[in-house]
Amino acid sequence: MSRWALAWRLARRGLDWRFRGLRLLIVCLVLGTAALSAIGTLTGGIGRELAARGQSMLGGDLELTLAGREAAANELAAMRTLGTVSQGVRLQAMARRAESADDAVPVELKAVDARWPLYGAFTVEGGRNAGAPQGMTAWIDPGVGDRLGVKAGDRLKIGQAELVIGGVIAGEPDRLSEGFALGPTVIVSEEALKASGLVQVGSMARWKYRLRLRAEADPAALAEDFKTRFANSGFQVRTRDKASPGLDRFVSRMGQFLVLVALAALGIAGIGIAGGVSSYLEMRRASIATLKILGAQSGDIVRIFLLQIAAAAAAAIALGLLLGVGITPLLARALEGLLPIPPGFTVDAGALAVAGAYGLLIALTFAAPPLLEARRVPAMALLRARVAPLGQGWRLPLWVLPVGLGLSGIAGLAVLTSPQPLLAAGFLGGAAAVFAVLALIGRGLSWGAARLPRPARPLLRMALGNLHRPGAQTSALVVALGFALAAFVMLAAVQTSIDANIAQRVPERAPDYFVLDVPKGARQDTFRALVRREAPGAAVRMVPSMRGSILAFGPDAAMTEVGTLKDIPEASWMLRGDRGLTYSADIPQGNVLTEGRWWPKDYAGEPLVSVDADQAKAIGLNVGDKVRISLLGTEREARVASLRRIDWSSFGFNYALVFSPNALEDAPHTFAATITLAAPEKREIVRRAILSGLVKALPESSVIEVGLVLGHARALLGQVGTAIFAAASVAVLAGLAVLAGAIAAARAARQYDSVILRVLGASRAQLLALLAAEYALLCAVLALVALALGGGTAWLVIVQLFEFDWAPDWARVFAVLAGGVGLVMVLAVAGSLSVLRTRPAEALRAL
């Protein structure tokens, strides 16, 4: 019989279905693999859903978008040679009840032709399928009905068009590809849009052309050919496999972040695995000694217990994978409405395989040190009772190779399976640094406890001694629980800082309303008069507004054509699609020049442009270079006169490109305005007056309510925060599992100490006070460590990454920390109570 076969026979006899002694390993692995498999399964399911629903989400195989103008005859003819074309228009508008202008609601108007939708099903309340609206019929979002008090059959007025509500929207197939909505949707026909009179030259409207291609056609190749053919027309092109690029990036990044957080939690669990294996081998001391006396070699000992650990790890990983798949619907419900969630249970074989591989690598890596140490201990040492615990004095050269290989395998797997390898590598490096710092703090705590002056009170002196006694788990507990509590502190500080920034900045600095498509000339005076009448003291700011796209940029002799770029860097968002454009004689409010000079107020020379400094850096644009844009189908060119630092958090008019007046003022355009109320306490009264007044005086203009938009944004951030909080909770649970393992590993030694103290006259109350004092000292250190690490990381995220003000709600942060520390304290004392129930006589007979 081979040595492995013999080892498996002995290992199998030493195992039972309840896995006594290995339960901590199982708990830690179940937690980590469940988190990884749930996140991977959910992310994979969303990715498959995006791919499967690409046609219906986009509304076609290919989408071509133009800002500010509809396609020319030759452009439309070229589209029709590719396949069936469905044309639509998107713009902001104001809707009100036909019989009254006393109340109005900003809406996102979506005009479609009779072919819409090319793919997918459009449904209305009641579950019935519906097609494109006909004639003067409109389909409305439930929000429109709620705010105006209208229903199917009622009449609605948008611009100059009077519409009949045909039904309430239940399912809009291409909603996710439309992006963030600035108001509830109203879907109308092209006929109704024309009757509204809202679309004028220079209006902030977007024309979308969806194409159904032939079955054999390649959307990507056709898109590239179309972009090349009409390179300077300003088309933004999307294909069905990239129906929502922003959503794809969000899902990828969020999934990657959650996987890394869960991997860090699994790393904490690894500490518990190491402690659990040490405890298990300590329990098997007599068996190891017997095997060695009977002739077993050190390699045989390793094989036997390696097989037992592998069997327990396999069972734990399988249970974790099942649990991860089982909790996926709960995560899906938390993110419902934010992402395209597949219905019911989903299984992603690749994600499960990766989660299982992580679990196995973690188990073997952290089990290696105690397992290899056991093989070196001689039989006589194994027979000594509690004199030389197996976990003592690990020899670095013995286990550095397997542990190093295991950690390299974990890091390699994380980087290779990541869509952003540099981010994964950076996160793992940062997590390793945090673990190292925590380990040093734990060692320093033990070292300091051994050298502090002895307190006069016996209980406190003994509690301090327990932090550095042989076999103490102080360092492991500081690493595991310190990391877990620091994660909660970081989340609390980040969340409250963001909330505080929104609460502080929005009322003080953000306007109450954005108004689009204010006509030039005398109508601007009409607008200002209306605001002065309905909201005395309100501040009004008005700027020219148009949309265009960048065609080329760079030095005169070597301009880079955007259409030739195969991959636009993510930081260079200015080059993607159409952008807001404006002109100004003065430096815009909230902007600071960082390089170059601003043009004089009466400037009449070569057209100039000022560029956002961050975007200029991202694309390598310098003062003196040129920028060529497409505006309403024509090309315009300007030289870069200056770079600006923009305060994007001001919620005002912030444009990446600001031109000199002589560059754009002759182009057809409208104005955009902001209204900042002087008396916020009367916001609802003023809102009704302004909206109804605008509908009457300027029906072609539309309003965006900042408060409503921010409310939607907060709701979405809340859903994301729930997912992050759930992932961070795994780290806390893993830390608590390590705590339970440390208590179990020290149970025998504590029973011995308890018995001796009881014989010497100590009461149970005194022993309980000793336990409480020991863990209180440990928790005090954990609280300081968590506050420093978690707070420092949150500061980096808020100030350096988000560039927000550092404004955490310390009351909430301390409440979260106190709750976590209190939970640790309660579980630590409760887990040690069984030691106090040990009867001295019974324990002494067993010694």
Burial label, 507 (beta-carbon count in 10 A; 0-12, 13-18, 19+): exposed
Assess whether pLDDT exceeds 90 at residue 657.
yes
Higher pLDDT, 825 or 16: 825
Bridge partner residues of 592 (DSSP): 645
**pLDDT number for residue 598:** 94
CA–CA separation, 778 vs 815, rounded Å?
18
Dihedral angle at the C-alpha atoms of 784, 785, 788, 793, nearest 10 degrees?
-150
Assess whether pLDDT exceeds 90 at residue 599.
yes
Dihedral angle at the C-alpha atoms of 352, 357, 358, 363, nearest 10 degrees?
130
CB 401 within 8 A of CB 306: no
Query: In this structure, what token pair is assigned to residue 337?
Result: 């409405």
Helix axis angle for 747-759 and 810-836, nearest 10°, is 70
Assess whether pLDDT exceeds 90 at residue 189.
yes
Q: What is the 3-state secondary structure (H, E, C) of 665-704?
A: CCCCCEEEEEEECCCHHHHHHHHHHHHHHHHHHCCCCEEE
- Determine the 3-state secondary structure of 489 from DSSP: helix
The pLDDT confidence band at residue 844, using thresholds 50, 70 and 90, is low
CB 93 within 8 A of CB 186: yes
Assess whether pLDDT exceeds 70 at residue 157.
yes
Is the bond preceding residue 184 a cis peptide, omega within 30 degrees? Answer: no
381-388: long-range contacts (C-beta < 8 A, 24 or more apart)?
382/285, 382/286, 382/288, 382/289, 382/292, 383/285, 383/286, 383/289, 385/847, 386/748, 386/749, 386/752
CA–CA separation, 796 vs 784, rounded Å?
18
**pLDDT number for residue 393:** 47
When pLDDT is averaged across residues 291-298 and rounded to a whole number, the result is: 79
CA–CA separation, 713 vs 199, rounded Å?
28
Among 47-61, 383-397, 830-844, the range scoring the smallest mean pLDDT is 383-397
**pLDDT number for residue 110:** 92
- Determine the 3-state secondary structure of 346 from DSSP: coil
Q: What is the DSSP letter of 799?
A: I
Query: In this structure, what token pair is assigned to residue 145?
Result: 């009905």
When pLDDT is averaged across residues 55-71 and rounded to a whole number, the result is: 84
pTM higher than 0.85: no
CA–CA separation, 60 vs 212, rounded Å?
5
The pLDDT confidence band at residue 208, using thresholds 50, 70 and 90, is very high
**pLDDT number for residue 192:** 92
Assess whether pLDDT exceeds 90 at residue 233.
no
When pLDDT is averaged across residues 515-529 and rounded to a whole number, the result is: 85
The pLDDT confidence band at residue 626, using thresholds 50, 70 and 90, is very high
Among 114-123, 389-398, 475-484, 726-735, the range scoring the smallest mean pLDDT is 389-398
Q: Is the dihedral of CA 491, 492, 494, 495 positive or negative?
A: positive
When pLDDT is averaged across residues 792-816 and rounded to a whole number, the result is: 82
Per-position DSSP letters for 72-141, written without gaps between them: PHHHHHHHHTTEEEEEEEEEEEEEEETT--S-EEEEEEEEE-TT--SSS--EETTS-B--S--TTEEEE-
Assess whether pLDDT exceeds 80 at residue 451.
yes
CB 464 within 8 A of CB 455: yes
CA–CA separation, 316 vs 167, rounded Å?
52
**pLDDT number for residue 637:** 93
Residue 242: how many other CB atoms lie within 10 Å:
18
In whole angstroms, how large is the CA radius of gyration of the chain? 34
The pLDDT confidence band at residue 804, using thresholds 50, 70 and 90, is confident
The pLDDT confidence band at residue 349, using thresholds 50, 70 and 90, is confident
Query: Over the chain, what is the mean pLDDT?
Result: 80
AA letter at 451: R
When pLDDT is averaged across residues 616-625 and rounded to a whole number, the result is: 91
Dihedral angle at the C-alpha atoms of 350, 355, 359, 360, nearest 10 degrees?
0
**pLDDT number for residue 392:** 47
**pLDDT number for residue 344:** 65
Q: Which whole-number Å values give the CA distances from 384 to 393, 646, 772, in the listed order?
A: 16, 72, 31
- Determine the 3-state secondary structure of 552 from DSSP: strand
Query: In this structure, what token pair is assigned to residue 737?
Result: 């599992």
CA–CA separation, 161 vs 178, rounded Å?
24
Read off the pLDDT of residues 744-780 as tens digits, 9 standing for 90 and up: 666 666 667 777 777 777 777 887 888 788 888 888 8
Assess whether pLDDT exceeds 90 at residue 596.
yes
- Determine the 3-state secondary structure of 637 from DSSP: strand
Q: What is the largest CA-CA distance in the chain?
A: 104
When pLDDT is averaged across residues 292-306 and rounded to a whole number, the result is: 81
The pLDDT confidence band at residue 77, using thresholds 50, 70 and 90, is very high
CA–CA separation, 316 vs 27, rounded Å?
7
Assess whether pLDDT exceeds 50 at residue 423.
yes
For 221, residues 6+ apart whose C-beta sits below 8 A from its C-beta are none
> Of the segments 154-168, 557-571, 767-781, which one has the largest average pLDDT value?
154-168
**pLDDT number for residue 136:** 93
Q: How many residues does the chain have?
A: 847
- Determine the 3-state secondary structure of 175 from DSSP: coil
Give the distance from CA 413 to its chain's centroid.
Answer: 21
- Determine the 3-state secondary structure of 572 from DSSP: coil
Q: Is the dihedral of CA 791, 795, 801, 806 positive or negative?
A: positive
Residue 697: how many other CB atoms lie within 10 Å:
13
